[in-house]
Amino acid sequence: MYRLSVRVVVLGSDPVVIDPAVPRETAGVEELLAQKPEAAVIAAHGLEAFFRASVALERGVRRVVLRKGSMPEAWMGEIAARALVLSGETFERGDDERYTRLRPGPRVEVAAPSFDEDVTPAARGEPLPLTAPEASLECEEVAFAMGLKPVLYLVVAAHAVERVRARYGELVTREDRLRSGGQSGERTYGVGEAVVHVFVGARANEAAELWAGDSSRNVEALGALMGYPHCCVRAFAAMVSRRINAAFPFVTAARTRALGGTFHPLLDVTTSRLVPFVPCTYSCPRAIEWAERVAAAASVTRRARTVVYFDEARAVALDRASLDGDTLSYEGPRWATEPNDRLQRAFGAVFAERGTVVARDGALTVNGVAFSRGVILPFA
C-alpha cells in the first residue's frame, strides 16, 4: 500500500492495486498533473507507460513508479536517465510488491528510428506534384515582432549577418561552423559552413551566454528566455537527439498517440513551421495558441491533411486520406519537402494516384512496398 501522506496519482488505465481514494486518469493526464502530485504510479505499458512517466517527470512529479516488465529494460534505463535530467526519482515495483530504484541506462531516443538507411525507392515513375506553396514564413521573426518571444535567435550564414543587422540594429553574435542536412537533418556545430548565431533583444547577452553552455539546465533556461511554453521546453530538454530534426516528428507523434491526443493542423511542421520550438505533443494547447497567434499575424491558413513522413528530405502530403486502425487509404499524394525531381519520381512510382499505407511497429508499407521507417501524421 502506498503511504498517502504524499499526494499520489495513477496515470494510465491498466489495473493496479491501490487505495481507491487515489485519483486515476479519466480524461487524459493533464488534469491529474495539474493537481501537482508528488508521486505518480504508471498503470500502463509500452509507449503509453514510457511517455506517461516522462511527462510526469517533466511536470515536476518527484517520484515515478513503474510496474516491472511494463516496458523494455532499455526504456526503463532511459526513464531513469531522464529523471536525473529532470530532478526526479524512478522506481520499479516488482511482482513481490517490492520497490527498486531504477538505474540510468545508456540514453536512447524512444520512438525515433535510425536515419542511416536511405529509404528512397529504386523505381522511377511520374514525379509527385508539389504541395501548394505556402508563403515562406519566418515564424521566429514574426513571433519576435509580435512580442511573443523576448529574444530573437537566428543561425545565419556569415555573409548574411549584415542584412540582419540592417533590420534589427544592435546584435549579439557568436561565430561558429555548422554542417546540417542529409536524411536526418542533423546539425553538427564546429565543422562545415561558417555561420553566426544571432541574438536580438534586451536580454540577448543573457541568451548568448546560456546558449554557449550546452547542458540540459541551459536548454530550460534558454527556452524560458525564448518565451516557449514550459511543457514543450521540458519535453525537449528530456530528449536525447535534440540536434536531429528528423527525430522530432516521430517522437512527437508517438507522444501524442500515447497520451491520447490529436494532431492539430497548425502544428504541422513538415513544410513551413508556425512555431520555432518542438511542441511537446501535436495537441499541446499552449503550442496551438502560439501557432494561432503567428498564423493570424502572418495571415496563414492551414487545411487539414495527412502527412507520411520519412525524414527531413522525404515527406508526402495527402489531401484526401482516411485512417482505419493502422491502415490509411488515400488519394492525391503530393511532395511536401524541398523540390527534388529524383525523389519525387522515386516516391511517385510507389505512391501512385491512390492507395494504402499500413503502419506497423515503426515501419510503413506503401502499396505493398516496405519502408524501414516512416510515420503517419494525421493533422486534422
Crossing angle between the packed helical segments 285-297 and 230-238, to the nearest 10 degrees: 110
Give the CA diameter of the chain: 68
Closest CB 235 distance from Zn ion, rounded Å: 7
Determine the Cα–Cα distance for residues 92 and 70; give it in Å rounded to an integer. 10
Is residue 261 a contact residue for Zn ion (CB under 5 A)? no
- In sequence order, what E strands does the chain have? 8-11, 39-42, 63-67, 89-93, 99-101, 152-157, 172-179, 188-189, 193-200, 305-311, 314-324, 327-335, 354-360, 363-366, 369-371, 375-379
Separation CA 225–CA 200 (nearest Å): 12
Residue closer to Zn ion, measured from CB, 53 or 321: 53
Calpha distance 76→88 (Å, rounded): 14
CA 258 to chain centre: 13
Kindly tell me which of 55 and 85 has the beta carbon lying closer to Zn ion. Answer: 55
CA 14 to chain centre: 26
Stretch that binds Zn ion, among 25-33, 208-216, 251-259, 277-285 (CB under 5 A): 277-285
d(CA 215, CA 237): 9
What is the C-alpha to C-alpha distance for residues 378 and 265, in angstroms, rounded to an integer? 9
**Is residue 348 near Zn ion by the rule CB under 5 A?**
no
**In 10 A of CB 148, how many CB atoms?**
20
Give me the count of residues in the chain. 380
Of positions 12, 88, 223, 229, contacts Zn ion by CB under 5 A:
229
Of 23-31, 42-50, 230-238, 293-301, which part binds Zn ion (CB under 5 A)? 230-238
Does 232 engage in binding with Zn ion (CB under 5 A)?
yes
Does residue 291 interact with Zn ion by CB under 5 A?
Answer: no
Of 80-88, 285-293, 308-316, 366-374: span binding Zn ion (CB under 5 A): 285-293
Binds Zn ion (CB under 5 A): choice among 86, 253, 280, 357: 280
Q: Whose Cβ is closer to Zn ion: residue 71's or residue 232's? A: 232
Query: Could you tell me which stretch among 141-149, 279-287, 321-329, 331-339 binds Zn ion (CB under 5 A)?
Result: 279-287
Q: How crowded is residue 197: how many other Cβ atoms within 10 Å of its Cβ?
A: 20
The residue among 11 and 231 lying less far from Zn ion, judged by its C-beta, is: 231
Stretch that binds Zn ion, among 1-9, 187-195, 203-211, 282-290 (CB under 5 A): 282-290
Q: What is the smallest separation between the CB atom of 86 and Zn ion, expressed in angstroms?
A: 15
Q: Does 278 bind Zn ion (CB under 5 A)?
A: no
Contact between 231 and Zn ion by CB under 5 A: the answer reads yes
Give the count of residues interacting with Zn ion (CB under 5 A). 6
Least distance from Zn ion to the Cβ atom of residue 275, Å: 10
Using CB under 5 A as the binding rule, whether residue 374 contacts Zn ion is answered as no
Give which of 40, 35, 90 is closest to 61, Cα–Cα: 40
The rounded distance, in Å, linking the Cα atoms of 300 and 136 is 10
Nearer to Zn ion, 86 or 284 (CB): 284
- State which of residues 32, 42, 85, 284 lies at the interface with Zn ion (CB under 5 A): 284
Interface map 188-227 toward Zn ion (x if CB under 5 A): ----------------------------------------
Binding positions for Zn ion, rule: CB under 5 A: 229, 231-232, 280, 284, 287
